[in-house]
Structures are given as C-alpha cells and as structure tokens.
Amino acid sequence: MLKASGIELVAADKPDAFLDDTPTANLIRQVLGAVAEFEKAMIVPKFKDARDRKRATGVKVEGHKNFLEINPELVRIAKRLHRYPVNGRRRSLRQVSTALASAGFVTGKGKPYAAAAVAQMIQC
C-alpha cells in the first residue's frame, strides 16, 4: 500500500529490512501487524468506557465547546440585544454582531462575529 502511494519506508537499523521478501521478513511483518491490531482492539474499549463514565457524571465529553461554555457573558448580552427591539424593530443578527463588537466582544482575530455565530449564541 505504501509503495503504491509512492512512500518508501526505511528502517534506521537496517535500511533494507522492509524490502526483503524472505519468509522470515514476511512473518515478522505479519506478527507486528497482528500485535498492533490486538493493541488497538484492547485500547479502544477502554477509551469508550472512560468517556461513558465521564458522560454519566453530566460532563460534556466530545465536541467543541459552545459559546455558552466559552463566554456566558457574551451569550447573555447577545440574547438581550436580539430580544429587545430598537425603534420598534428587532435587531438583525448583523446588528447584534456590530453591537457586540462595539462592546468589545470580538473573535480571536479581532473581527466582529459573523451572523451565523450570533445565531448560535442566541440558540444556546
């Protein structure tokens, strides 16, 4: 598979170790592959059990943190800005983003939040 991809594998201690087509070299490759497969089969259930135990305590285990977990104050202000109308009309998501930016809430790159991000904040 590696050869087909154009990748050449070279062992540090014996450069032609993986090139040999002797029965012994084939046996060693097969045994190492079987050991790696066995090790993975043993580790994967342990990780799953650990995630399940942690999830049972009510802790979020997988996925990115949402805006509420990162900055609850940001979400509170975004909801308030979107909820209360200005001049008889509800603010658009872009207007909320602009108001958040003027209050000092910007992305990690210093830019105002996108409308889609504001929508996610409001849904938290």
Domain of 56?
A: 1-63
The pTM assigned to this predicted structure is: 0.56
Based on the fold, state whether residues 8 and 59 are members of the same structural domain.
yes
- The DSSP letter of residue 66 is -
Count up the domains in the chain and report the number: 2
Q: Retrieve residue 111's tokens.
A: 């830019």
pLDDT per residue as tens digits for the range 58-117: 988 888 999 999 999 999 999 999 998 888 889 999 999 999 999 999 999 999 999 999
Q: Are residues 4 and 59 in the same domain?
A: yes
Domain check: are 55 and 85 in the same one?
Answer: no
Q: How far is CA 90 from CA 29, 84, 93, in A?
A: 67, 6, 9
76 contacts 103 by C-beta, under 8 angstroms: no
